Amino acid sequence: MSDRPPAPEPLPHPVVDNHCHLDIARGDGPALPVGEALAAASAVGVTRIVQIGCDLPGARWAVEAAATYDAIVAGVALHPNEAPRLPDLDAAMAEIEALAASGPHVRAVGETGLDTFRTGADGAAVQEESFRRHIDLAKRLDKTLVIHDRDAHDDVLRVIDSEGVPERWVMHCFSGDAGFARACLDRGAHLSFAGTVTFKNAGYLRDALAITPRDRLLVETDAPYLTPTPHRGRTNASYLVPLTMRAMAEVRGDDLGELCAAVDANTEVAFGGTWG
């Protein structure tokens, strides 16, 4: 891992990286072998990972990884930017449903949601249809719903209010301000914060973090993306979660060990129990 950021100081209590893409590589190197990625994460106190599949190949990979490694559970879905590109949404959703129902190692339906940054108006209707169908699937299978929301806060709330949400749902890589945080919390969400909360221009995220009850907080990498400061722009990985956790504790004025213990317990609640 010599071309990657160095490992930070280990955390005083284990946490879960609740949103990761172990199968995706970035330009500065191939994806780490899964065993190596898990070992590096565990060495700094990140002992479990939720592997998220965003298209059919990625969803199949996530399910296989979760079946192979005790430290991994899977989430499967069609990413909101993927859905409008598919020639047959019905067939793709049928496979996602089969994968989601394939065993207890598949804990989540996600990431699904809305994204108006990369998908234009011509794909909006299909994107919303896909989102609604994923919500229905999560409720029918009693899976955690994991929501991707980029530049679509009001529409995400509109769809959630229209469809209703399952008992457990997560706002992945929370990207709103304190007002949007309250709106999601009022609807029962867990809010997951990524490396973006460490960015200099993300004061609004830190405001949202500060008002979130401790029992609703999660942490994630979205690796290989969204690498926390001071390594922004380099490849992210689960072993860098301690940088985000320390920033979260500082923003909130929390004891780091107590916050880690809370986030670890919250992740079990949010994803339906223990594993690994």
The CATH code of the domain that includes 220 is 3.20.20.140
Confidence class for position 2, pLDDT limits 50, 70, 90: low
Domain assignment present for residue 145? The answer is yes
How many domains does one find in the chain? 1
Q: Residue 3 above 80 pLDDT?
A: no
Least confident of 20-29, 81-90, 230-239: 20-29
Domain assignment present for residue 275? The answer is no
Q: Residue 1 above 90 pLDDT?
A: no
Domain assignment present for residue 223? The answer is yes
Q: Residue 198 above 90 pLDDT?
A: yes
Q: Residue 147 above 80 pLDDT?
A: yes
pLDDT value of position 30: 77
Domain assignment present for residue 155? The answer is yes
Residue 46: which domain range?
15-270
* Parallel, antiparallel or unpaired: strands 72-76 and 106-115: parallel
Mean pLDDT over 43-49 rounds to 98
Mean pLDDT over 55-76 rounds to 98
Domain assignment present for residue 10? The answer is no
pLDDT value of position 26: 82
Domain assignment present for residue 164? The answer is yes
Q: Enter the tokens of residue 111.
A: 């990431």
Global pTM value: 0.97
Domain assignment present for residue 2? The answer is no
pLDDT value of position 268: 97
Closest CA to 72 of 102, 52, 92: 52
Residues 6+ apart with CB under 8 A from 5: 227, 231, 234, 235, 240
Domain assignment present for residue 5? The answer is no
pLDDT value of position 28: 66
Average pLDDT over the chain, rounded to an integer: 96
Percent of the chain, pLDDT > 70? Answer: 98
